[in-house]
Amino acid sequence: MFDVWLDEDYLIDTEGTSDGTQSKYYADGFWYKTNNEGREDIVEYLVSKMLTFTDLPDDAYVVYERGLLNGHAACRSRSFFSPDESFTTLERLHANVTGQPLHEKIRMTGIDASVEYVLRFFDDVIGLDLSEYFKRVFTADYISLNEDRHFHNLGVIREHDGKFRPVPIFDNGKSLLNANPSVDRSLPISENVKRVTARPFSGSHRETFEKFGKGFDLNREYALQWLDTEEPSFYRDVLIHQIKTVKL
């Protein structure tokens, strides 16, 4: 765990919501964020660590570390693009090209039409087939119950030669039933799982997963052995439940 103090010179962004304020800092190649909704520090760590037990390449996901930032619970991850590269979200890129937010463009369409539009649009505009990227992301979201996979949490990196590549899987803080106000911890996890809503193509993680297909294999045995060594928490228990029950 890290314990870092950073002044406002390193503050990149501050976002305010009804649940609180989240500050994001960048220093020495690391992105830091303080907790805003629930225990994002724990959840980001658990989800990214779970991905190390898959057959995904190391650069396909961001690894988060728990710690303290200016005395507050936080997490950090290494930057996933170099200084001569630039990162943009799918939402921002679509808006820059068309003048319309991507989430509004597909809002009234079903999952089949939405997926077809998004894949075709980015293939035409930047010459990148996002099918495999989406497979990986939405398989991870299906296991982790990510409720915040909007188009600002999906993106691409423009390399120095002008070509594009997908970003690694990042920003999983609203997973494992974290920050879901409908969750009742007096109920079994299996009941609370039914209260989860997916994004951005469908409200169902299962439907989205089935639409794109399996993006990776998970070594459940090793992942569960690791979780047995983690400190007890509600979020750890949710991840154990998901690894045992989700069918890929």
Q: Strand 11-17 vs strand 72-78: parallel, antiparallel, or unpaired?
A: unpaired
| C-alpha span between 27 and 12 (Å, rounded) | 10
Beta carbons of 43 and 173 less than 8 angstroms apart: yes
Q: Structure pTM? A: 0.95
Per-residue model confidence (pLDDT) at position 23: 76
Per-residue model confidence (pLDDT) at position 149: 97
Contacts of 130 (CB under 8 A, 6+ apart): 118, 119, 122, 123, 166
**The token pair that represents 212 in the structure block:** 């794109």
| C-alpha span between 50 and 61 (Å, rounded) | 11
| pLDDT by 10s per residue, the chain, length 248 | 999 999 999 998 755 443 444 679 999 999 999 998 899 999 999 999 999 999 999 999 999 999 999 999 999 999 999 999 999 999 999 999 999 999 999 998 999 999 999 999 999 999 999 999 999 999 999 999 999 999 999 999 999 999 999 999 999 999 999 999 999 999 999 999 999 999 999 999 999 999 999 999 999 999 999 999 999 999 999 999 999 999 99
Domain boundaries, the chain: 86-217
Nearest to 43 by CA among 128, 131, 167, 145: 145
Using the Cα atoms of residue 51, residue 52, residue 54 and residue 57 in order, give the sign of their dihedral.
Answer: positive
Beta carbons of 179 and 185 less than 8 angstroms apart: no
Per-residue model confidence (pLDDT) at position 220: 98
